[in-house]
Structure 1
Amino acid sequence: MTAALRAAPTARAARAEPADAEALFALSAPFMRSGELRERPPAAYRRPEELFLVVRAPAHDAYDAPGAPLDACVALRVLAPERGHPATGLLHNLCVRADRQGRGLGSVLVSAVSAAARRAGLRALVTATTGDGALFLRHGYREIPAAAAPPAFAAGLDPARGSRVFARPL
């Protein structure tokens, strides 16, 4: 059975509310502890320049009801314009609760963040992962050398983490 078929049929991404900041931090914390995500303070989940999209737990009547527990999240940040690079967004902080992985929620979020980036007028997305990047490859990303990414983004990469960089035009 494919991941998309295992996902709850009504699972959809919704914009996180300011009141979701603590839940975003709690969802992200296990990934920070494992090293899959960089450490970020709780205040980072309240920054107005970050667009967080979430998938809420299906036990609630409405997936997008503020305050419902979170199953998954992703963030989009618009990168500062840089010469030689189109208007680019950074997809980051992609997390799916351990007991909800393998159900297509990551795909729901990657698709939703791509749509949000297009609506914002962005022309490309970039991301980095310590994983295999299979999810990104399935969504039209291609692996690129860090040197080919927008310089300010590439400068923030920690070589010790062994991250792979992926990009996709929109």
Structure 2
Amino acid sequence: MITATPPPAPLSHTPHALLAPKPPSVRAACREDATALAELSQPFVRSGALRERPLSLYANRAADFLVAQGPGGRLEGCVGLRVHAAGPGEGRGPVGVLYNFCVAGRKQGHGVGAGLLRAVLAAARAQSLGALFTATTGGGGLFLRYGFVPTTARPAPPSWAASLDPRRGARILARVL
């Protein structure tokens, strides 16, 4: 009896997972990413979801950011993590604030935000942060799915809480690590 290996299935029968686009890789941002970070953020600034930030902030604080980079090298999302040391008499260790979290419109709903959030949670744990805070003008569904809960400004870093513009109506969310 002669046996032969069957030919590969035609593309139309290939499992969907094999045809799915490669997910973006998450990496630390560098100073050279400043322009791309600013461009990625602009649609969210125009909609009122993000505060306007100067290009110099993206350049000077590039080390705060994680970016999701697509296979072609284009940035598909970003999130900033700013560490705040405990103030005198606060009785807590350092905490982090997530800011400028955005995903390109064409990539929303494809797991880019979830990948960034998992990566920034891992980075926060690696830095032994006790909690993370963020403010959102949206529903915050992704944050809530990853264990963030609504809170007030009271437990948040005072300098960050004082910088929030009450006219924006942002909700403060926190997650203990």
* Global fold match (TM > 0.5): yes
Deviation of 1:45 after TM superposition, in Å, equals: 0.5
RMSD (Å) for aligned C-alpha atoms: 1.8
Does structure 2 conserve the Cα–Cα contact (< 8 Å) formed by 1:85 and 1:150? no
Does structure 1 conserve the Cα–Cα contact (< 8 Å) formed by 2:23 and 2:112? no
Unaligned runs of 5+ in 2: 1-16
Aligned residues: 157
Unaligned runs of 5+ in 1: 61-67
Does structure 1 conserve the Cα–Cα contact (< 8 Å) formed by 2:30 and 2:63? no
Give the letter aligned to residue 131 of structure 1: G
Of 31, 38, 48, 1:25 maps to 38
TM-score when normalising by structure 1: 0.85
Structure-to-structure mapping, 1:3-152, within 5 angstroms: 8=21, 10-48=23-61, 50-58=63-71, 60=72, 68-82=73-87, 83-152=90-159
Distance 2:60 2:84 in 1: 14
User: CA-to-partner distance for each residue in 1:39-93, whole Å, 9 max, x for gaps?
Assistant: 10001101247421111123x2xxxxxxx21011111111132314431011111
Residue 6 (structure 2) aligns with: none
Q: List structure 1 runs of 4+ shifted beyond 6 angstroms.
A: none
User: CA-to-partner distance for each residue in 1:94-118, whole Å, 9 max, x for gaps?
Assistant: 1100111011111111111111111
Give % identity.
Answer: 48
Residue 161 (structure 1) aligns with: 168
Between 1:81-90 and 1:12-21, the stretch displaced more is 81-90
Does structure 2 conserve the Cα–Cα contact (< 8 Å) formed by 1:125 and 1:167? yes
1:146 alignment partner, SS class: coil
